[in-house]
A and B are shown apart, each in its own frame.
Chain A
């Protein structure tokens, strides 16, 4: 999304569904990387997805973060639009947001009719 778009971070972006260019769910906005807080003009630079992104999200989040892997960082420039979901410009695989599904898809593919 272009620079300078104003969004309510707490209500409008955080914890929302991420959807890739093919319309597939690919995680949640688990945390946001914000720059320029000191200079007085803060802007969102990255969306942080999964794994240890949860470490900033309360006591249960810290515990959950310890049990999972590294977070994926998605630059804000990859965001196409924000509605009830956060729409991305590219397919999940190109943003490394398909790791979880790839890990388990092989197992399910062995079942008949999958």
Chain B
């Protein structure tokens, strides 16, 4: 690899790490740590490997065939099922986008002290202007790089010097203590859902088309996504460990988005607090942009419209209107004053229900040699793909009953 390629890989990995965590990961990882200590760390590993397996697959399909995920959903599931999937995914995208927008406003509030309600429209305006002005690649980089502020949690986790023996135990699935079995299972579903949210694969595969991936990019981009997501998973570990050490013994319920930032302050002082807030701001801001675009990508790909940031807005008018409309609707949802943390929990749990319909077409097409030729799934991709599909079906059935039985993890 040339020096230029090494740099490109490094930059890609950095933006994947920064872009991995969103409000769903922040909420579920800290709450899981505050409730069950290190005991759920193994779930993060399962979730991260899952998103790597399916991102790799849909990235490969996009690079080889030029077709993004929702094209495949429509082709394989047919009009009716695809339309049902579209409606479900749009509801989840909107809920998630609203939660992330709320998260951005909370960060602004913590940084400025101004009233939350006033900062919501400002947050949406800034996100819309940024998305309008910046080309696709720079959007990825801006939010990805500044999201790296979250690395402060990795430093905090190490500095807190947890009982590493116990931490290691958390990576082995097994019996649990503290809290009921139902709540434990609710967090298993929530953590998997937060790691494998469908909007990530929608955005990832459409992004591959936006970046004009071809077969020559396959290896380079695989390395980027696999390492980037794997390292991003470490941020999830860090959040859970920090919450386990600081919140669990004190009985603190991290009911606010700012709570994890206070953990960084406790460990690393004012600099820690500032880095944590900047990291959270750009992580949730980036995810707000990703969800609004994912919604527009899906709509355009279902109906066959022109789409993408690669087009001038007036050349893809319906796509452009779609992402603007999703931001506008998200603004309305957040302005009702509904708690963004609650909204996050619901959006993650509902997204789990929509997962099978998103992932099955990817698995089918990645195996179709008329599409993929020699780049069709190998044995490893299929074993992992089928295993994760079974996991997804199981958690999609369990998600809503667990949400109701545990009253949203309250026990």
B82 touches A101 (CB 8 A): no
Nearest chain A CB to B213's CB is how many angstroms away? 15
Who on chain A is nearest to B87 by CB? A60
Chain A residues lying within 8 Å of B303, measured Cβ to Cβ, are: 27-28, 50
Neighbour of B79 across the interface among A11, A18, A61, A105, CB < 8 A: A61
Neighbour of B83 across the interface among A14, A60, A104, CB < 8 A: A60
B80 touches A108 (CB 8 A): no
Interface 1/0s, chain B 291-306, versus A by CB < 8 A? 0000000001011111
The stretch that binds B, out of A38-46, A51-59, A73-81, is A51-59
Asked whether any CB of chain B lies closer than 8 Å to the CB of A69, the reply is no
A25-B307, A58-B80 known; A108 and B74 CB under 8 Å? no
A104 touches B306 (CB 8 A): no
Task: State A60–B302 Cα separation when bound (angstroms).
Answer: 14
Who on chain A is nearest to B306 by CB? A25
Nearest chain A CB to B94's CB is how many angstroms away? 19
Chain B residues lying within 8 Å of A61, measured Cβ to Cβ, are: 79-80, 83
B304 touches A59 (CB 8 A): no
Task: State A25–B301 Cα separation when bound (angstroms).
Answer: 9
Chain A residues lying within 8 Å of B312, measured Cβ to Cβ, are: 114
Interface SS of chain A: helix, strand, loop or mixed?
mixed
Task: State A100–B321 Cα separation when bound (angstroms).
Answer: 12
Asked whether any CB of chain B lies closer than 8 Å to the CB of A5, the reply is no
Chain B residues lying within 8 Å of A50, measured Cβ to Cβ, are: 303
A57-B79, A61-B80 known; A101 and B307 CB under 8 Å? no
Chain B residues lying within 8 Å of A114, measured Cβ to Cβ, are: 312-314, 320
B82 touches A108 (CB 8 A): no
Task: State A24–B307 Cα separation when bound (angstroms).
Answer: 9
Interface 1/0s, chain B 349-372, versus A by CB < 8 A? 000000000000000000000010
Neighbour of A17 across the interface among B71, B78, B313, CB < 8 A: B71
Asked whether any CB of chain A lies closer than 8 Å to the CB of B65, the reply is yes
Task: State A100–B318 Cα separation when bound (angstroms).
Answer: 8
A24-B306, A25-B307 known; A105 and B314 CB under 8 Å? yes
Task: State A44–B13 Cα separation when bound (angstroms).
Answer: 48
Asked whether any CB of chain A lies closer than 8 Å to the CB of B75, the reply is yes
- Interface residues in B43-77 by Cβ distance below 8 A to A read 65-67, 71, 74-75
Chain A residues lying within 8 Å of B313, measured Cβ to Cβ, are: 108, 111, 113-114
Who on chain B is nearest to A29 by CB? B304
Asked whether any CB of chain A lies closer than 8 Å to the CB of B404, the reply is no
Neighbour of A25 across the interface among B74, B75, B304, CB < 8 A: B304
Nearest chain B CB to A107's CB is how many angstroms away? 7
- Interface residues in A1-41 by Cβ distance below 8 A to B read 11, 14-18, 24-28, 30
A107-B321, A108-B314, A114-B314 known; A101 and B79 CB under 8 Å? no
Asked whether any CB of chain A lies closer than 8 Å to the CB of B84, the reply is yes
Nearest chain B CB to A90's CB is how many angstroms away? 16
Asked whether any CB of chain A lies closer than 8 Å to the CB of B317, the reply is yes
B80 touches A17 (CB 8 A): no
Asked whether any CB of chain A lies closer than 8 Å to the CB of B1, the reply is no
A108 touches B320 (CB 8 A): yes
Task: State A59–B75 Cα separation when bound (angstroms).
Answer: 18
Nearest chain B CB to A88's CB is how many angstroms away? 12
B304 touches A101 (CB 8 A): no
Who on chain A is nearest to B65 by CB? A84
Interface 1/0s, chain A 64-89, versus B by CB < 8 A? 10000000000000000000110000
Can you give 18 contacting A-B residue pairs, CB < 8 Å? A14-B78, A15-B82, A17-B71, A25-B304, A25-B306, A30-B79, A57-B80, A61-B80, A61-B83, A64-B83, A84-B67, A85-B67, A101-B315, A104-B317, A107-B321, A108-B313, A108-B317, A114-B314
A residues engaging B (CB < 8 A)? 11, 14-18, 24-28, 30, 49-50, 54, 57-61, 64, 84-85, 100-101, 104-105, 107-109, 111, 113-114
B residues engaging A (CB < 8 A)? 65-67, 71, 74-75, 78-80, 82-84, 132-133, 300, 302-307, 312-318, 320-321, 371
6 extra interface residue pairs, beta carbon distance < 8 Å, beyond A58-B78, A100-B318, A105-B317: A14-B78, A16-B75, A57-B80, A107-B317, A108-B314, A114-B314
Shortest 10 CB-CB contacts between residues of A and residues of B: A58-B80, A57-B79, A28-B304, A104-B317, A27-B304, A114-B313, A108-B317, A114-B314, A105-B317, A84-B65
